[in-house]
Amino acid sequence: MESVIRGAAVYFLLLVIMRFSGRRTLAEITPFDFVLMLIIAETTQQALLGDDFSITNAFVLIVTLIGVDIGLSYLKRWSPTAARLLEGVPTVLVRNGKMDRRAMHRARIEESEILAAARLRQGLHSMDDIDHAVLENDSGISVIPKRR
């Protein structure tokens, strides 16, 4: 029972921390972000396992984590509110070629990041070429070019 409680507690704790840390965190992975992720994983592992390194404990924890994840995916399908809480909603950063400065500020997105996404994904030159830019739930920035 203790393993199930540990697994579920760590899952929800990580979910809350990651959700509230903001969409920018760990979005564009830099080498340091990668190291940070490894440290978080290592720290979490210790909290999950405690002193019990048995296969049974590992199995119980894996099944618990995957079970909670599956359960939440169904919850998100059934409840739009739960989906918004757990995953967030896309944020329009550029609308009809005009930057939404407030949304960019609140989502901690710089103009240079939108331009970088425009260059990388659409081969666009400048902000004038962007019709819409959206910060997606997966932290990526999608860019829709203006129609020529």
Instruction: Report if residue 39 touches another protein, rule: CB under 8 A.
Output: no
Instruction: Report if residue 116 touches another protein, rule: CB under 8 A.
Output: no
Are the C-beta atoms of residues 99 and 113 closer than 8 Å to each other?
no
Phi-psi label, residue 55: left if phi above 0, alpha if psi -120 to 50, beta otherwise: alpha
Instruction: Report if residue 51 touches another protein, rule: CB under 8 A.
Output: yes
- Answer for which of 8, 27, 76, 145 binds another protein (CB under 8 A) is 76
Residues 140 and 118: their CA atoms lie apart, in Å, by 11
- Helix 80-87 to helix 2-21 angle (10° resolution) is 80
Instruction: Report if residue 107 touches another protein, rule: CB under 8 A.
Output: yes
**DSSP structure string for 80-96:** HHHHHHHH---EEEEET
Instruction: Report if residue 91 touches another protein, rule: CB under 8 A.
Output: yes
- Answer for which of 29, 37, 43, 50 binds another protein (CB under 8 A) is 50
DSSP secondary structure code for residue 147 in this structure: P
Tell me the closest approach of the beta carbon of residue 90 to another protein, in angstroms. 5
Instruction: Report if residue 90 touches another protein, rule: CB under 8 A.
Output: yes
- Answer for which of 84, 110, 125, 138 binds another protein (CB under 8 A) is 84
Instruction: Report if residue 77 touches another protein, rule: CB under 8 A.
Output: yes
Nearest to 136 by CA among 72, 74, 87, 70: 87
Binding residues for another protein (CB under 8 A): 17, 20, 22, 50-51, 76-77, 80, 83-84, 88-92, 95-96, 103, 106-107, 131-132, 134, 144
